Amino acid sequence: MADTRTAPVLPDTSDDAHPAPADGRRPGRGWLGEVRHSMPAAAWWVVCLSLAVLFLYPLYVMLSMALKGAQEQGRIPPTAFPHAPTLENFTHLASVQGLNVFGNLLNSVMVTLAATVLTVLVATFAGYALARARFPGSNVVFFVALATFMIPFQAIITPLFMVLKTLGLNNSLVGLTIVYVTFNLPFGLFIMRNAFAAVPGTLEEAALVDGCGILKALRHIMLPIVMPGVITTALLTFFASWNEFFAALILLTDQDKFTLPVTLTLVTSGTFGSVNWGALEAGVALTIIPCIVIYVLLQRYYVSGMLNGALK
């Protein structure tokens, strides 16, 4: 007897079965994917390598100059790489032009960490309240907080100076920390409020029904879900506070309380017009390396946190 069984019909996976949208893009492929697939593989890698060199070359020049000795720094034409690498430029930072760069680095670390922790804590609790514990005028409060983005920071530096002077916090790292928290809090509030608003309310309700209090539900249920937003807020606050120059220059007058960006500006000015470029580049390396390391380690949380906060 002849076998009358038929072969199973497989789904058609060709491009004709899934026509492209009207704008010409393939499903699940963004504009970068379209550009990549429209170029030959060799051309794509040439473009990627060119961009990598464009962004990495300044970092190479910085590290190369920081590792060169005093004689090699002034050589003309300049050498492409240090022939006798040395760490003397980093050791000279302890006393270059009478400045204690390492002491000022410690000031930057303390102020930045304190501002980051305070901003994350306040933004987390305030964002949770605005997203979940709705109250009359909550939207107005959120709008007013966002409206502060339209006020240039330089325009309110004089009132901030007067307020800190009245409170006895002028020329202090505590006062500078409060200013950094005030400056970074609106955007942190924006990120955290939208992160909490994106979480389904049924999860929190189930936790409350099971006997969790609000703080316990926030800690054990909500925070693990919105952790990308927390890390994004922490990263943005860290970078902004670590690199901030203007407020530290205006609000601090004692040299031993300066932060690293202000100190590097003094190193740039030099003594009698002479600049120790090796020490300057070593100081720049101390400024950049922590930011690069932290961002590389936490970049996946940063990207997802920005998307969650922006798409809500």
Mean pLDDT per segment of 10 residues, for the chain of length 312 residues?
Answer: 50 49 52 75 88 90 84 77 82 74 89 95 91 80 82 85 90 93 90 87 80 81 86 91 91 90 77 70 85 81 55 48
Q: What is the pLDDT of residue 123?
A: 93
Q: What is the pLDDT of residue 145?
A: 83
Q: Are 302 and 232 in contact (CB under 8 A)?
A: yes
Q: What is the pLDDT of residue 179?
A: 93
Q: What is the pLDDT of residue 174?
A: 94
Q: Are 191 and 233 in contact (CB under 8 A)?
A: yes
Q: What is the pLDDT of residue 87?
A: 83
Q: What is the pLDDT of residue 308?
A: 53
Q: What is the pLDDT of residue 306?
A: 52
DSSP letter at 220?
I
Annotated domain spans of the chain: 31-86, 96-311
CATH number of 96-311: 1.10.3720.10
What sign has the CA pseudo-torsion 250, 104, 231, 201? negative
Residue 170's Cβ-count burial label (10 Å; 0-12, 13-18, 19+) is middle
Q: Is 271 helix (H, G, I), strand (E, B) or coil?
A: strand
Q: What is the pLDDT of residue 176?
A: 94
Long-range contacts of 148-156 (CB under 8 A, 24+ apart): 148/186, 149/186, 149/187, 153/183, 153/246, 153/247, 154/246
Q: What is the pLDDT of residue 156?
A: 87
